[in-house]
A and B are shown apart, each in its own frame.
Chain A
């Protein structure tokens, strides 16, 4: 069965520092991988996705993520954090052989001014 793990409930980063939000996954086939962000009292917004090709994917708001097949990871990164990046981040995976999409439990990112 496919699964997604976000091992950190919360991540604190000082403004201007690089940030990483971790995601690991388990699927039986090749995955589609997604990152979404949720601001307070809002729905989720799509950030970026990995479908195929280059392992480094660039997305909205300066975020990027690296697909690592051997480590089954898809960590979200940003070189320099902004206070406005503070939000709840969700990783999601979809097995190409199964239409169901599974979300991680979310990681709350706090950027400290």
Chain B
């Protein structure tokens, strides 16, 4: 069965370190998204991609970057982790049509100390 996976599931890192969160999907979807989930804020879009070599900034992109070298993967990098980036991060994918629903990964809980 097709799926979307994230790794690691839990990560503790120190302020200032570079961190990369992996996202891999086997749906063969062109669209991929990264969100963060925080109490009182719901889900906020960090970055998204509509295909290989395409990346776009979302609502809260400062301090984050992504790259899309193939269809299956969209890694999220925190260039210099800050305590404000402690959160749960979700990756999602969808078909290209605007009316398509998103399929979410299980999430990565990141703690920056």
User: Hey, which bits of chain A sit against chain B, CB under 8 A?
Assistant: 32, 34, 36, 41-46, 49, 51, 90, 94, 96, 99-101, 103-106
Contact = CB atoms under 8 A, between A and B. Distances in A.
A19 to B, nearest CB: 20
Interface of B: 4, 35, 40-45, 50, 58, 90, 92, 98-99, 101-107
A51 B99 contact: yes
B40 A101 contact: no
B34 to A, nearest CB: 12
Given A34-B101, A96-B98, A101 B106 contact: no
A45 B104 contact: yes
B98 A94 contact: yes
Contact of A46 (B4, B41, B42, B101): B101
A67 B42 CA distance: 22
Nearest to B40: A105
A105 B42 contact: yes
B74 to A, nearest CB: 15
Given A44-B90, A96-B98, A90 B106 contact: no
A100 B45 contact: yes
Contact of B45 (A42, A46, A101): A101
B22 to A, nearest CB: 15
